[in-house]
Structure 1
Amino acid sequence: MSTADVDNRYTLREFVEQTRQRDRGQGIFEMESARLLEVNLNGMVWTKMGSMVSYLGNIKFEREGVFEKGLGGFLKKAVTGEGAKLTKASGQGRLYLADYGKKVQILKLENESIVVNGNDILAFEPTIEWDIKMMKRVSSMLAGGLFQVNLQGTGLVAITTHYEPLTLVVTPDNPVYTDPNATVAWSGTLEPNLRTDVSLKTFFGRGSGESFQMEFRGNGFVVIQPYEEFYHAEA
């Protein structure tokens, strides 16, 4: 390869061509790259607060209102501080979402339910019913708390993971135990319990997260990531 050929690879024109946006015709949720989600918006979509990195067109952003889930939801938030992580994006245009360079996974629910760690939700369609809850038993052990987003219905959901996710199948004969900081999502058929391992607490010290595990029993699946994510309380 000649010097001229090498130099042509690094021109500004070549850079723009290699990195420019491309419409792949994949629908409302489109993988622009492994870590960047394009939303072809014509209406409304729910997004994680702070995940917008760019948009084209006429799009309006609104933080989830205190009465969005009714008076009961308002009273719950007043007590727990829940529900501070979602933004409603409305209008027409292209919206680009990302979350600290984490990998994006698109899931299609078909009258199904899934529970996602609040740190790992990126976006979902308005056809999906949702609720935000705090896992109080786990949150008491973790700084900043641990919120979960319960999603149910039919539509698209985008979640994020640090590196490649791994899905573990749960059966009545094979329960699954996970580190809360590495747990991304689980099927709506499962209800996790907090399990304390006294031997691990003794070995690692009382402050070790290793001594607390999420226990999943029944029929379903659990998604984990090869990374321990630590949680920070939202203002």
Structure 2
Amino acid sequence: MVRYSVDEFVNQTKQQDKGEGLFELETKRMMEINLDGQVWAKSGAMVSYRGNIKFEREGILEHGLGKLFKKALTGEGISLMKANGNGKLYLADRGKKISILKLEGDSIFVNGNDLLAFEPSIQWDIKLMRRMAGMLSGGLFNVRLAGTGMVAITSHYEPLTLMVTPSNPVYTDPNATVAWSGSLEPEFVTDISFKTFLGRGSGESIQMKFSGEGFVVVQPFEEVYFAEQQ
């Protein structure tokens, strides 16, 4: 085969059936859903599909007034779409790395910006950052996912999971925090000297403190949300 030929490119990049089930990583940054029914996905994440699949934005009252109210408080919030039918659906989100998790009766919190897709068997709810929400960027909120089923999350570059123990809490930058186990409830702490050290100007640096037993997933990148750019 001729080096750099079109045939070589096609053979190296063409889609493969790996037989991994409903959620399947085609590459580190693109996921294939072998759809036979319904799945929830982040709006705008569809890059391609084949088969008989219909897409529908979530209804305003589809998840009840409670979630509608929370979405209003968090700005855009998490915008979802339903994919129904049979076929292959390909999702991606700004070239971010995709990780697939199988929940088996447990729960996980995910930064709303890092949630890509999940099965309809998963129960979910938007969790506000309590009184600290007003001090943080408009895009910073999280979603609690619980039950049994597949969940796909994204991160900028390779994620790192830090274990939390009662004797060893973990502190994170909220903008670099991707997810954490459902057993943890973060609290917010401030550190004036830390922000000054980093040269970020005057004021207090807000950090998330995780105490107890569980894990926290961080990424080597700080999300800059629209609200911070204004």
TM over 0.5: yes
Native 8 Å contact 2:77 2:139 kept in 1: no
Runs of 4+ in 1 over 3 A off after TM superposition: 74-84, 136-139, 201-204
* Residue identity in the other structure for 1:206: S
Deviations 1:191-224 (A, max 9, x none): 111110122244432267xx11000011111001
Q: In the alignment, which residue of structure 2 is the partner of 1:102?
A: 96
Measured after TM superposition, the shift of residue 134 of structure 1 is: 3.0
Q: Is 2:77 aligned against 1:111?
A: no
Q: With the length of structure 1 as denominator, give the TM-score of the two structures.
A: 0.89
Measure, in 1, the Cα distance between the counterparts of 2:78 and 2:163.
31
Specify the SS of the correspondent of 1:218.
coil
For structure 1, the residue ranges without an aligned partner over 5 or more in a row are none
C-alpha change, 1:82 and 1:131, in structure 2 (3 Å) is farther
Q: In the alignment, which residue of structure 2 is the partner of 1:30?
A: 24
Measure, in 2, the Cα distance between the counterparts of 1:76 and 1:226.
29
1:123 is matched with which residue: 112, 117, 120? 117
Q: What does 1:51-130 align with in structure 2 at a 5 Å threshold? A: 51-81=45-75, 83-130=77-124
Specify the SS of the correspondent of 1:10.
coil
Measured after TM superposition, the shift of residue 83 of structure 1 is: 4.5
Native 8 Å contact 2:119 2:151 kept in 1: yes
Q: How many residues align?
A: 225
Q: In the alignment, which residue of structure 1 is the partner of 2:225?
A: 231
2:5 is matched with which residue: 1, 11, 14? 11
Aligned sequence identity (%): 67
Measure, in 2, the Cα distance between the counterparts of 1:74 and 1:129.
16
Name whichever of 41-50 and 134-143 sits farther off: 134-143
Specify the SS of the correspondent of 1:119.
helix
Measured after TM superposition, the shift of residue 132 of structure 1 is: 1.8
Specify the SS of the correspondent of 1:140.
helix
Measure, in 2, the Cα distance between the counterparts of 1:150 and 1:81.
18
Measured after TM superposition, the shift of residue 81 of structure 1 is: 4.0
Measure, in 2, the Cα distance between the counterparts of 1:76 and 1:32.
34
Native 8 Å contact 1:110 1:154 kept in 2: yes
Q: Is 2:136 aligned against 1:142?
A: yes
Could you say which structure has the larger radius of gyration? 1
Native 8 Å contact 2:78 2:112 kept in 1: no
Native 8 Å contact 1:46 1:89 kept in 2: yes
Native 8 Å contact 2:48 2:90 kept in 1: yes
For structure 2, the residue ranges without an aligned partner over 5 or more in a row are none
Measure, in 2, the Cα distance between the counterparts of 1:214 and 1:40.
37
Q: Is 2:206 aligned against 1:184?
A: no
Deviations 1:93-121 (A, max 9, x none): 10000111111111111100000001111
**Aligned-residue CA RMSD in angstroms?**
1.9
Name whichever of 224-233 and 30-39 sits farther off: 224-233
2:37 is matched with which residue: 40, 43, 49? 43
Native 8 Å contact 1:166 1:223 kept in 2: yes
Measured after TM superposition, the shift of residue 182 of structure 1 is: 0.7
Deviations 1:50-98 (A, max 9, x none): 1111111111111121212223333444455464421111111100001
Native 8 Å contact 2:98 2:155 kept in 1: yes
